[in-house]
A and B are shown apart, each in its own frame.
Chain A
């Protein structure tokens, strides 16, 4: 179909793919008009997109080590940016972020700043230098720079803890979306999600994951932006929502004053009242709006809350191995650097839209001037709305009438955060095809991140533990067999944990950043920027940081009277502050107390600091 080699044809291939996907969306819209059931459309959306990803995964199969681990180091700058954006934007970003802003307002937006600002650290401190090293995995860099199996294994340990926390949340998200779209039980949906994820990565490793991630990015960004632009235009809020929703944010502020949201007169539900919600509260984790949309609170403790969360997310971003390893796949150091900028651009498109979605969604429900509003309307009418019924049946939306006036009040309408993204098209009265599209987008976001994470874990175990430590003489065939077996095993383990539903989607995600920050950030950065950092320092920094971080997490989350143990307002979402600090101090102090690294290592670091010349590790190693 296309002449010339695959890489040169990429713009054409993905252009055709995007056109094909849009044609598919239109076809679904036509089917909806023709009267095909909503559920069928949902199944077709999710089923068709998963089929395409699996096909790409199959076509990218490989038997070569550098293709399996590094996609052959030929992923062009902009495409690597797209793949990284999909790798990065998880089920949490796609499904939960707008919901978080919806419920928690300005304070929550520290996540937006953190999850974008971290890329400056990636580009300025790490990615180009690690690319010059030519390593397969992040522990591969640590092992080569500091020398020795112990430090390598310690890095694998942090990678394992951080990525597994994260991947469980992703498989959980695929399960949540698949359960709704395919109308099956959550536990079954988790395994369906896992199989879909493995179909993309089993045969082709990094190469397959790269090309499916690009395809997944295209689906997820269309699915996220289309409903926002549609709603903004349909309601005459402005044709370009990002620049034009200022008035709507002000309008929300007015409504909050009259409805007493986040004000001194706000009605707070009692525990006994909430308990009447039953499953919706315990399993669905629904809540009512209690915090103002854009208001901030004066004073240092609130500012510190914001910036400490942003710091943890930024530093965590720069230490998460599944992101860093994407920059090992570019053709050059220059391209790795620029690829970080493109990644951030593609991420920006979605993140800057999340607050817009939260604003639109909240306005649709609150503003009495809009036909879609439910606050202040009678219970009889609201409880008959089709979206209230469908999501109510899943315990994700709940209504109560605590004061018995028959009118829905702000404190009597409950919903789960994830519903903001998944149900807003329905709430706003958009055609069902948009709801199907959003489900496919959420699935793409969760799958692409899960793929990257599972691959990061299994690659570290197969390359750094199996090949580098256990069996250095293993041949290529055996290495790839082990890599694939581990992929299966890690995936199944993640799905098993996800089916237990231990954490909510976001709790797990924030912890992954804190773990990575505690154990990996300073040993990685100082490995490039401080020649004096040595093996002993790195081991102390990695293990000590991880230990301090984990111990603090236990102390403020699981110990008795955990809430009283919080120091300086650093709660369980921010434990990386102490873990990271401990790691920094340990690397420096222990390095200075022990012998400086030998001249070969110092020369290696000098070499990594210039882009030209051969990579430090060979193409095959």
Chain B
């Protein structure tokens, strides 16, 4: 299949990307790293996720960006037939073209292995609610105050009559951050990702966190309305996670 080219490419980039794809597929780490911006090799190497048994690469699309950079889409095939698409962004430095961003496509939210109730278990009803397809937030049965993070008693009236009503998983973005750094190995393949802090009007303005879906090309803004869904664990063993989408 021919490479789809969008815009007017600089002369040398197509061959370079082709060669880079072959180096990655061949597991040639030295050649792969040599194409990365030297000040971010560690970040780039851990950002994308690829199986170890790659057999081939195919440059699918090259886009000449208005700022002079080039975006490359390379599809890799593993021995078992699985296809993995990576998008890399190339910039021209004094020493030549180098990769300064890379990510897996389509974007998928990370799932660090810490889901589920905390050690103290104060938040257990919240997690059980997610399994039931509900967003449950702690509320005092005495003074009706919404409480988050969960507490052992109401910090307002000291009642221990603590309830867990379900609220609509809908609200507005109170703040956000897009994380690029692969802090743990489990983040590889999911970077960058956007975490939103969402203010819940049905829970008295209490705020909950979650990954924003489809954020790759999105401009995120505080105040944007978002709606939540419950992302089931792939193996059925873990816990669902609250995810957010722009509504």
- The answer to whether A and B interact is no
